[in-house]
C-alpha cells in the first residue's frame, strides 16, 4: 500500500531535480556573453582579434588561413593537409627538430591542421613567453621551410595512414566516402586528409605553388586570447605581420550545393570486414543559418546524444550497434546533414531499415513537449562548456569573423533556445531533415553479401576499398 505514495514522492523529486537542472542550465547559458575584444585590420588585409583575460597566466592563439581542402587541385586531394603538416616541420631559422625543442623548452604548443575551408593553427603559451609565441607564429605563417625531404616523409606517412585506416578504422573513413558521393565535383566533397591517389600525385613543386597561391595576409584571421596587454600585443603582431604579402591567387567562390532528390546507394566492397558501416546524408545548412538553436535542439533529440531517438533504437533497445548519431556540418555554404552507424554484416539491412524508420518517425510524429523541454535543457547545459577556456574563446572569435557572424550568435543563443517552440521544431524537421526516400546511402562492407539486398534502397554504384580514392567514378 506504500508503493504508490513512494512512486509519487519519487516522481515529485525527479520533477524537482529536473526543474532545478533546467533552471541552472538556463542560468549558465544566459551568463555566456561575448567578452570585450579589439578587432584590428592590417594594411595587408590580415585581421587580428585580441581579447584580454587575466584569470590564468596563459595565452591562446587560433589562426585561420582561408582555403583548406576546398581549394585543393581536383587531382591532388590532400595538398592543403600536407601543407598544414609541414608548417610544423621547421620555420624561419629553426629546422624541425630545433622548432620542436624550442616549443618543448617553454612548455608551448603549436599545431596546424587542414579543414574544409581553412588551415587552422592553434597554440598556447605561458604569458611570459609571448614574445617567443609571436616569433614562432610569424615564422610558421611567413617563413615555413617546406623542405623536399620533409615533404616526401609527410606525404608517404599520410598515404600509409590512410591504408592503415582501411584495415582498422573504417568507421572514420565512411563519412569521407559519404561526402564525396554527396558532393561530386564540389569543393566540399574533397577529403581534408587526402586520398592515396591525390597524395601520390602531389609534388613538392605543387606544394610550393600552393603555398604561394593560397597562403597570404589577406587570408589570415588571427585570434589571441589570454594574459597580455592589448596595446603591446597589437604592436608586436602588427610589426611581425604587416609586411607579409597577400596570397598569389584569388580565393575561389564556393557555390551552394544542390540537395539530393531520390535515394542513391554507394557500396564500397570491404571483403575482409565483419561489420557494415553505413552513412546516409543530404545537404543541410550553412553556419549562418538563422534558426540554429531550434535546429540544434531537434538534432540533439534525433541523433545528438546518448538517449537520442536514433541511438535509443539502434543501440539501447535492439543492440544492433554500439552507437548511432546524426549531425550537421556547417560551412560558408550548406554542408552535409548525416546520420551514421555500424553493425554486424548479417544485421546490415535490419539496422538500415530501423535507422530509416526512425527518420520517418521524426517526420510523422510530433515531438512531445516533455521531450522538447529535455532537448532544450541538454543543449543549454552543453553550450557554456564549449566556451570556458582561452583556446575555446580564440576559436569562437575566428569563427565569428570567418563566417561574418555578429555577437548575437553567442549572446543571444540562450534566449533563442528558450524560445524554441513545438512549431519551430516541426519546421526544422520539414526544412532540414530529409525523408528516408531522399538521401545518399553509403555502405562499406562485404559486397558479395550485401549487393543484392541493397538494391531495394535504390540504384547501386560500387567501388572497392582498395581503390586509391574516396569518390566513385562519375557516370
State the architecture of 38-241 in CATH terms.
Answer: 2-Layer Sandwich (3.30)
What is the predicted pLDDT for the residue at 29? 52
Burial class (CB in 10 A: 0-12, 13-18, 19+), 196: buried
- What's the rounded mean pLDDT across residues 9-15? 35
Taking only the tens place, the pLDDT of each residue in 100-111 is 999 999 999 999
What is the predicted pLDDT for the residue at 359? 98
Q: What's the rounded Cα separation, in Å, for the pair 45 and 141?
A: 14
Taking only the tens place, the pLDDT of each residue in 311-358 is 999 999 999 999 999 999 999 999 999 999 999 999 999 999 999 999
Q: What's the rounded Cα separation, in Å, for the pair 147 and 194?
A: 20
Domain ranges of the chain: 38-241, 264-464
Is residue 229 within 8 Å of 52, Cβ to Cβ?
A: yes
* pLDDT surpassing 50 at residue 7: no
Which helix (H) or strand (E) is 8 found in, with range?
helix 3-30
Q: What's the rounded Cα separation, in Å, for the pair 390 and 62?
A: 10
Say yes or no: do domains 38-241 and 264-464 share a fold: yes
Taking only the tens place, the pLDDT of each residue in 206-237 is 999 999 999 999 999 999 999 999 999 999 99
What is the predicted pLDDT for the residue at 26? 47
What is the predicted pLDDT for the residue at 473? 75
Residue 114's DSSP bridge partners are 119
Q: Say which DSSP state 117 is in.
A: S
Which helix (H) or strand (E) is 64 found in, with range?
strand 58-66
Q: Which residues make Cβ contacts (< 8 Å) with residue 413, sequence separation at least 6? A: 29, 32, 292, 293, 383
Q: Which residues make Cβ contacts (< 8 Å) with residue 216, sequence separation at least 6? A: 44, 244, 245, 246, 247, 248
- Cβ neighbours around 404 below 10 Å, total: 9
DSSP string, 272-309: T-SEEEEEEEEE---TT-TTHHHHHHHHIIIIISTTSH
List the end-to-end C-alpha distance of the chain, in Å, as a whole number. Answer: 71
Query: Interior CA angle at 280 toward 274 and 286, to 5°?
Result: 140
Taking only the tens place, the pLDDT of each residue in 260-313 is 999 999 999 999 999 999 999 999 999 999 999 999 999 999 999 999 999 999
> Which residue has better confidence, 17 or 198?
198
- Cβ neighbours around 330 below 10 Å, total: 19
How many CA atoms lie within 13 Å of 222's alpha carbon, on the beta-carbon side?
A: 28
**Average confidence score pLDDT of the chain:** 93
CA dihedral 229, 230, 231, 235 (to 10 degrees): 110
* pLDDT surpassing 60 at residue 17: no
**For residue 470, which of 164, 169, 198, 73 has the smallest C-alpha distance?**
198
Q: Which long-range contacts (CB under 8 A, 24 or more apart) does 17-20 make?
A: 18/377
* pLDDT surpassing 60 at residue 47: yes
DSSP string, 371-435: HHHHHHHHHHHHTGGGS-SHHHHHHHHHHHHHTT--THHHHTHHHHHHT--HHHHHHHHHHHSPP
Residue 28: pLDDT band by 50, 70, 90 thresholds?
low
**What is this structure's pTM?**
0.90
Q: What's the rounded Cα separation, in Å, for the pair 329 and 331?
A: 7
* pLDDT surpassing 70 at residue 440: yes
* 264-464 fold: Cytochrome Bc1 Complex; Chain A, domain 1 (3.30.830)
Is residue 336 within 8 Å of 187, Cβ to Cβ?
A: no
Taking only the tens place, the pLDDT of each residue in 124-166 is 999 999 999 999 999 999 999 999 999 999 999 999 999 999 9
Integer CA distances (angstroms), 394 to 123, 142, 187, 201, 276, in order: 10, 21, 26, 35, 39
Is residue 128 within 8 Å of 178, Cβ to Cβ?
A: no
* pLDDT surpassing 50 at residue 4: no
Cα 81 to the center of its chain, rounded Å: 15
Return the axis-axis angle of helices 292-299 and 422-432, rounded to nearest 10°: 80
* pLDDT surpassing 60 at residue 10: no
Is residue 225 within 8 Å of 397, Cβ to Cβ?
A: yes
What is the predicted pLDDT for the residue at 30? 59
Amino acid at each position: 500500500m506504500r508503493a504508490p505514495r513512494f512512486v509519487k514522492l519519487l516522481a515529485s523529486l525527479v520533477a524537482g531535480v529536473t526543474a532545478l537542472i533546467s533552471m541552472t542550465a538556463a542560468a549558465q547559458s544566459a551568463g555566456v556573453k561575448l567578452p570585450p575584444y579589439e578587432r584590428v585590420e592590417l594594411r595587408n588585409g590580415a585581421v587580428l582579434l585580441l581579447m584580454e583575460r587575466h584569470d590564468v597566466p596563459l595565452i591562446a592563439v587560433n589562426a585561420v588561413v582561408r582555403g583548406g581542402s576546398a581549394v585543393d587541385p581536383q587531382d591532388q586531394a590532400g595538398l592543403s593537409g600536407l601543407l598544414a603538416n609541414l608548417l610544423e616541420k621547421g620555420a624561419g631559422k629553426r629546422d624541425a627538430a630545433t622548432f620542436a625543442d624550442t616549443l618543448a623548452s617553454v612548455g608551448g604548443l603549436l599545431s596546424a591542421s587542414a579543414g574544409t575551408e581553412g588551415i587552422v593553427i592553434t597554440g598556447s603559451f605561458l604569458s611570459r613567453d609571448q614574445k617567443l609565441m609571436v616569433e614562432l607564429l610569424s615564422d610558421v605563417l611567413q617563413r615555413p621551410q617546406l623542405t623536399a625531404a620533409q615533404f616526401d616523409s609527410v606525404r608517404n606517412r599520410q598515404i600509409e595512414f590512410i591504408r592503415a585506416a582501411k584495415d582498422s578504422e573504417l568507421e572514420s573513413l565512411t563519412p569521407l566516402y559519404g561526402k564525396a558521393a554527396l558532393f561530386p565535383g564540389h569543393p566540399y566533397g574533397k577529403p581534408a586528409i587526402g586520398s592515396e591517389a591525390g597524395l601520390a600525385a602531389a609534388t613538392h613543386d605543387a606544394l610550393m605553388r600552393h603555398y604561394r597561391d593560397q597562403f597570404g595576409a589577406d587570408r589570415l584571421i588571427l585570434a589571441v586570447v589570454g594574459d597580455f596587454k592589448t596595446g603591446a600585443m597589437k604592436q608586436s603582431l602588427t610589426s611581425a605581420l604587416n609586411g607579409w604579402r597577400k596570397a598569389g591567387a584569388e580565393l575561389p567562390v564556393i557555390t551552394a550545393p544542390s540537395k539530393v532528390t531520390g535515394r542513391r546507394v554507394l557500396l564500397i566492397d570491404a571483403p575482409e570486414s565483419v561489420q557494415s558501416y553505413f552513412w546516409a546524408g543530404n545537404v543541410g545548412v550553412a553556419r549562418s543559418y538563422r534558426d540554429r538553436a531550434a535546429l540544434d535542439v531537434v538534432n540533439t533529440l534525433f541523433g545528438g546524444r546518448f538517449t537520442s531517438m536514433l541511438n535509443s533504437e539502434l543501440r539501447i533497445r535492439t543492440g544492433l550497434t554500439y552507437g548511432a548519431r546524426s549531425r550537421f556540418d556547417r560551412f560558408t555554404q550548406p554542408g552535409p546533414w548525416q546520420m551514421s552507424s555500424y553493425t554486424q554484416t548479417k544485421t546490415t539491412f535490419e539496422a538500415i531499415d530501423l535507422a530509416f524508420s526512425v527518420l520517418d518517425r521524426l517526420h510523422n510524429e510530433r515531438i512531445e513537449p516533455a521531450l522538447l523541454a529535455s532537448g532544450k535543457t541538454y543543449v543549454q547545459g552543453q553550450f557554456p562548456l564549449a566556451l570556458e577556456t582561452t583556446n575555446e574563446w580564440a576559436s569562437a572569435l575566428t569563427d565569428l569573423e570567418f563566417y561574418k557572424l555578429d555577437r548575437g550568435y553567442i549572446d543571444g543563443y540562450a534566449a533563442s533556445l528558450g524560445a524554441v517552440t513545438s512549431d519551430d521544431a516541426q519546421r526544422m524537421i520539414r526544412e532540414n531533415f530529409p525523408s528516408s526516400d531522399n538521401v545518399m546511402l553509403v555502405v562499406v562492407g562485404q559486397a558479395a553479401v550485401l549487393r543484392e539486398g541493397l538494391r531495394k534502397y535504390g540504384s547501386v554504384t560500387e567501388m572497392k576499398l582498395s581503390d586509391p580514392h574516396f569518390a566513385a567514378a562519375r557516370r
